[in-house]
Amino acid sequence: MKRYLFVFLLLAACSKKDQPVTPVPTGPVTQKEINNWMLDSMKYFYLWNDQLPGNADTTLTATAFFAQLKNKDDRFSFLYKPADETTYPKYMLFIYGFDFSVIDGPDGVTGVVKLVIPGSVAALKGMQRGSYFTQINGTTLTADNAANLSNTLLQSGTSASFTMADGKTITLSAESLGENPIYQQTTSIIKGKVVAYLFYNYFNDIYNRALIQTFQQFKAAGATELILDLRYNPGGSVAAAALINAMIAPDINEQNIFAKYSGNNHLGQRDISYKSALSVPESGAPVSFSDLSTGRLSLNRVFILSGAKTASAAELTINSLKPYTTVIQIGEKTYGKDKGAVIIQDTRSPQRIPWALLPITYNLLNSKAQGGYSQGITPDYIADDMATQPLLPIGDQNDPLIAKAIAIINGNNRQANVTTVKKRYYDAEEAAAEMNLVKIKR
């Protein structure tokens, strides 16, 4: 399944009682009508509705008008046309099948492949984690052109060639790809302990049953420690996040609070139980709390590996787990997306407004009303997965983040020296981290 379709077309229509009541116009749709609909919606739902401009220019284009409405502190609200795929965000992983960063390598500015979708054309042509490339479409990467060259490639949606460090050229056609977010699941015996490892790259409800099966395997193996690798995870579904939390923390029950949503003067605060969160998946059939029982682990703590683009539902997972178990976070400070949104569409028939809005609507808090991580969640132990080159395979125990977790499991609890985070001139997963929002059902 295409992730961008998954993320942006599973629309939670607002109920009539939630929508501002305005007369339904007749005749041709005007720009003023579109913009007034947008403004009315923002007045009701927007987190910063008390700071909307009083004299917004309704003659502007929809995108320009929406930009005028956004608060200076709002990094994430956006709008798009459901019927027009050109208005959707684009992600490198789901167009070319791999993600990468551009860094200073030993021989100059270099593209480093970080993640490849198994079975994709990129994988079949030899792309793998740790591969290096020096050119895109024949242009040599530099510190100055890396971001522009990569973003142009992302927006063009055409075939692209990558000149690898060994001189080989790999040409890839633009596609619409999906992924199984469960990239790797293993168990190992370390100092007599059964350590489970899960690399999970997106909170996708389609794979919730597979996620339960993964934890069943961990439980059958007798896992007493878990390393949950979310280093590149940009977010996704609340239901999948609640599922993972419940599998990890044995004391959670279905009536416990998973998250608190704190909104404006119209919306107030909502307490979301685990039962409630599980009941509203973004796709697929819901799972019940009782469905989780055969895979729930008896853990005293969990190690969560994070990166600079760990965002949204992945951050919600980290924050919402903390009241229920000990979370040891290793890696980089996360992205800093502590907000959620509702999806607003014109549900009238016939529809007059072709746009859909995702305005920031709620602050996201855990059961203890703790949140406020707009600058990111700081790890307990700082480590950079780019510090060791070439990059090791996913799950390798010598990977800097995994190695730190294993050191703690082995009894070395001393704070590691801070690893200098390697300069990135471009991160392909930036778009996914920026555009994925916790989408809250009305």
CATH number of the domain within which 417 lies? 3.90.226.10
Q: Find out whether 258 and 337 touch, Cβ atoms under 8 Å.
A: no
Residues 143 and 240 in one domain: no
Is residue 268 in a domain?
yes
Handedness of CA 303, 305, 308, 309 (dihedral sign): negative
Q: What is the pLDDT of residue 109?
A: 95
Query: Can you tell me the distance from the alpha carbon of 379 to that of 383, in angstroms, rounded to the nearest whole number?
Result: 9
C-beta pairs of 397-404 under 8 Å, 24+ apart in sequence: 397/188, 401/229, 401/231, 401/305, 401/330, 401/331, 402/197, 402/227, 402/229, 402/305, 404/330
C-alpha 251: how far from its chain's center?
Answer: 26
Asked whether residue 284 falls in the same domain as residue 378, the answer is: yes
Q: What is the pLDDT of residue 435?
A: 87
Does residue 239 sit in the same domain as residue 302? yes
Domain boundary among 172, 190, 222: 172
Is 14 among the domain residues? no
Domain CATH code at residue 115: 2.30.42.10
Q: pLDDT of the chain along its 442 residues, tens only?
A: 444 333 333 333 343 445 555 567 788 999 999 999 999 999 999 999 999 999 999 999 999 999 999 999 999 999 999 999 888 888 899 999 999 999 998 789 999 999 999 999 999 999 999 999 999 999 999 999 999 999 988 887 789 999 999 999 999 999 989 999 999 999 999 999 999 999 999 999 999 999 999 999 999 999 999 999 999 999 999 999 999 999 999 999 999 999 999 999 999 999 999 999 999 999 999 999 999 999 999 999 999 999 999 999 999 999 999 999 999 999 999 999 999 999 999 999 899 999 999 999 999 999 999 999 999 999 999 999 998 899 999 999 999 999 999 999 999 876 455 456 678 999 999 889 988 989 998 7
Residue 255 lies in a domain: yes
103 and 216 fall within a common domain: no
349 and 241 in one domain? Answer: yes
Does residue 319 sit in the same domain as residue 401?
Answer: yes
Neighbours of 177 (CB within 10 A): 21
Beta-ladder partners of 182: 200
Number of domains in the chain: 2
pLDDT value of position 73: 93
Residues 113 and 199 occupy one common structural domain: no
Predicted local confidence at residue 13, as pLDDT: 37
Q: Are residues 299 and 357 in the same domain?
A: yes
Tell me: do 288 and 410 sit in the same domain: yes
Could you count the other beta carbons within 10 Å of the beta carbon of residue 193? Answer: 13
Helix (H) or strand (E) holding 62: helix 62-69
Angle between helices 31-45 and 62-69 (to 10 degrees): 30
Residue 390 has a pLDDT of 93
Q: Note whether 297 and 241 are same-domain residues.
A: yes
Tell whether 289 and 392 lie within a shared domain: yes
User: Are 166 and 225 members of one domain?
Assistant: no
**202, 181 contact by CB (below 8 A):** yes
- Residue 318, domain member (yes or no): yes
What domain range includes position 118? 98-172
Contacts of 123 (CB under 8 A, 6+ apart): 97, 98, 116, 117
In sequence order, the 6+-apart residues with CB closer than 8 A to the CB of 428 are: 91, 92, 93, 98, 99, 100, 101, 114, 150, 154
pLDDT at residue 28, as a whole number = 93
Please check whether residue 88 lies inside any domain of the structure.
Answer: no
Please give the model's pTM, rounded to 2 decimal places: 0.93
pLDDT of 414: 66
> Is 105 strand, coil or helix?
strand
Q: What tokens were used for 140?
A: 């040599």
Residue 359 lies in a domain: yes
Residue 433 belongs to some domain of the structure: no
| 64 lies in some domain | no
Which residue bears the tokens 């699941």? Answer: 185
